Amino acid sequence: MPWEMPLKLLRFMSIALGDTANASKAYSMALGASSVASEENAIALGRSSVASGTDSLAFGRQSLASAANAIAIGAETEAAENATAIGNNAKAKGTNSMAMGFGSLADKVNTIALGNGSQALADNAIAIGQGNKADGVDAIALGNGSQSRGLNTIALGTASNATGDKSLALGSNSSANGINSVALGADSIADLDNTVSVGNSSLKRKIVNVKNGAIKSDSYDAINGSQLYAISDSVAKRLGGGAAVDVDDGTVTAPTYNLKKW
């Protein structure tokens, strides 16, 4: 040949191009110095790239598609069986996982990590955003810097944090630390188990548009302002003597009676 670049053309149309490139199975392709395509229909493109699974693709310097149907695109990416890693240093290490973004990590089975530095570290976890982390089984972290660290937890919003099992943090900087707790709104904190919080020690919110709840001995419904007013008004009318309900705080003013001696 008029050029000296090493070229190996194996049986079944396998192709290896580059210094020590190796395409060892049928219909495989290795392009780049030290690239390796070691299973059927595997493709390795880039220096030291490795496609070692059937129908796998490794595209980029030192990329690794280590199992069947793996796709690794970008320098130093890694993809496991049926997994996809896209972006420099992205790692989709779990079966059926997906990592997209620089330095993203989908570490367990069925995980998704989307965004620079995002991490999905437990089975079925989903992390979407920059620098966020889903570290509990079936956990979801959505928003830059969000963290979902307990079982079945959900953190939605920038810097939101759900740590108690089955907890929900909704809103930027919200935090649900208790088991089965819910933090609703920016900066809300739910520290105790089985609680719902709409604020914190210094931030208070109203809950508005609440439908009338049942008022009876076995009711656990929420009661709204109009119902409380109706109760106070009923008491005032029963008392008579000019008793009335203060519309600002719901208190009943004391009645005045004129007593006559018989």
Element (H, E) at 17: strand 15-17
Do 200 and 230 fall into the same domain?
Answer: no
- The enclosing domain of 216 has a CATH number of 1.20.5.170
Residues 150-184: tens digit of each pLDDT = 999 999 999 999 999 999 999 999 999 999 999 99
Q: In this structure, what are the phi and psi dihedrals at residue 161, rounded to the nearest 5 degrees?
A: -145, 115
Do 20 and 63 fall into the same domain?
Answer: yes
Do 118 and 196 fall into the same domain?
Answer: yes
101 domain residue, yes or no: no
Cα–Cα distances in Å, from 29 out to 43, 56, 68, 71, 120?
5, 11, 15, 14, 32
* 8 A C-beta contact, residue 112 and residue 129: no
87 domain residue, yes or no: no
Q: What total number of domains does the chain contain? A: 3
Determine the pLDDT at residue 130. Answer: 97
Q: Which has the closest alpha carbon to 84: 59, 116, 62?
A: 59
Q: How is residue 184 written in tokens?
A: 């609703």
Residue 8 scores a pLDDT above 60: no
Residue 39 scores a pLDDT above 50: yes
Q: Which residues contact 114 (CB under 8 A, 6 or more apart)?
A: 98, 99, 100, 101, 104, 127, 128, 129
- What is the Cα–Cα distance from 8 to 15, expressed in whole angstroms? 6
Residues 239-253: tens digit of each pLDDT = 777 777 777 777 777
Mean pLDDT estimate for the chain = 92
Do 198 and 123 fall into the same domain?
Answer: yes
157 domain residue, yes or no: yes
- pTM: predicted TM-score of the whole model, two decimal places: 0.85
Do 14 and 74 fall into the same domain?
Answer: yes
Residues 202-251: tens digit of each pLDDT = 999 999 999 998 988 898 999 888 887 787 777 777 777 777 777 777 77
Determine the pLDDT at residue 2. Answer: 46
pLDDT band of 48, cuts 50, 70, 90: very high
- The enclosing domain of 26 has a CATH number of 2.150.10.10
Percent of the chain exceeding pLDDT 90 equals: 76
257 domain residue, yes or no: yes
- What is the Cα–Cα distance from 102 to 113, expressed in whole angstroms? 11
Do 155 and 132 fall into the same domain?
Answer: yes
185 domain residue, yes or no: yes
Do 184 and 228 fall into the same domain?
Answer: no
- What is the Cα–Cα distance from 196 to 128, expressed in whole angstroms? 25
* 8 A C-beta contact, residue 188 and residue 204: no
Do 237 and 197 fall into the same domain?
Answer: no
The residue segments making up the domain with residue 11 are: 1-82
240 domain residue, yes or no: yes
Do 181 and 212 fall into the same domain?
Answer: no
